[in-house]
Every structure is written in structure tokens, then in C-alpha cells.
Amino acid sequence: MTLRIAPAGVTDIQQVLADHSRYWGARDLRGLHLLALVQEFGSTCLVARDEKEEIRGYLIGFVTPDRTGYVHLIATRDDTRGTGLGRALYSAFTDAARRQGAVRLKAITSVTNEGSVAFHRSLGFEARIEKEYDGPGEPRVVFSRAL
């Protein structure tokens, strides 16, 4: 399977949302797919398409003023997992973030998302739990990696 990774547009993310459960299962993360992020950070939001132009994975990210490449969301379609696409999306994001001056990467996940923790560790991230990252009683796993 040949996949092509390119900058994502609003319509790409709308297509992902129409297929939301194939990326996130029973979790409803539709509210986190802020189209304004795609509008304003188009070169660090990415989509992967197969030969039939079907979307197989995507990443929404941006570079902060302190030069952190922050990955807000990354997901690969349920039938594409374990094929290296998540790693390839991160690699493409790293290239785009470096071009904007990023010197480190950061991402967040819920403390129950063991797959995400294993995935980020495989990519060389350090993981630590921040107890009130999202407010009182809302811990998150914070991933970080120098570039």
C-alpha cells in the first residue's frame, strides 16, 4: 500500500469526522477537531491518503511561539494501524515543524490511552503524568522529545 502524506485542509478533517469511529472507536473526540487550527496552521496539519484517495490517517499540530511542535491529535484508521503510518505522520510533522524553527515536540494523551503511551515511547518520547494538566482531577500524560 502506498500512502501519500500532504497538508490537510478543512474538507479533509470533515471527511475524517464523517468516519470518526474508525479513528477513535467509542470515544467522541469530535469537539477537539477545531477547524480553526487547520485554517491557521495548514502546513503542520497533515493527511495521509491511499491510492484510491481514501484517508488513512491524519495529524493536527502547530508550532508554538516557544518553538515547541505540539501535536494536538494524531490517529490512523483502524485497518491501517501497525503499518508505520503513525510514525510516518510524525516524521512529516517533524520536518514541517523544524522548518518553522521547532526545537522540541510535545503531545498529550489521557492516562487510560495505553496504546498512545506505547506508540509515543516507541517514537522516543518521554512520558510523565501531570496531575492537573486539564484542571482539578483531570490528569494527562505529557509526552516530550527534543529535536
Ligand X SMILES: CC(C)(COP(=O)(O)OP(=O)(O)OC[C@H]1O[C@@H](n2cnc3c(N)ncnc32)[C@H](O)[C@@H]1OP(=O)(O)O)[C@@H](O)C(=O)NCCC(=O)NCCS
What is the binding site for ligand X (CB under 6 A)?
Answer: 23-24, 73-76, 81-87, 109, 113, 115-116, 118-119, 122
Q: What distance in Å separates the CA atoms of residue 63 and residue 67, rounded to the nearest whole number? A: 6
User: How near is the Cβ of 43 to ligand X at its closest, in Å?
Assistant: 20
Report the candidate in 35, 40, 44, 41 with the shortest Cα–Cα distance to residue 5: 44
* Residue type, position 17, single letter: L
Query: Nearest-CB residue to ligand X?
Result: 86
- The set of cell numbers assigned to 77 is 484508521
User: How near is the Cβ of 88 to ligand X at its closest, in Å?
Assistant: 7
C-beta closer to ligand X: residue 93 or 119: 119
User: How near is the Cβ of 109 to ligand X at its closest, in Å?
Assistant: 5
Neighbours of 71 (CB within 10 A): 24
User: How near is the Cβ of 89 to ligand X at its closest, in Å?
Assistant: 8
C-beta closer to ligand X: residue 25 or 101: 25
C-beta closer to ligand X: residue 15 or 83: 83
- The set of cell numbers assigned to 45 is 496539519
C-beta closer to ligand X: residue 32 or 103: 32
DSSP per position, 30-92? GGG--HHHHHHSGGGEEEEE-TT--EEEEEEEEE-TTSEEEEEEEEE-TTTTTSSHHHHHHHH
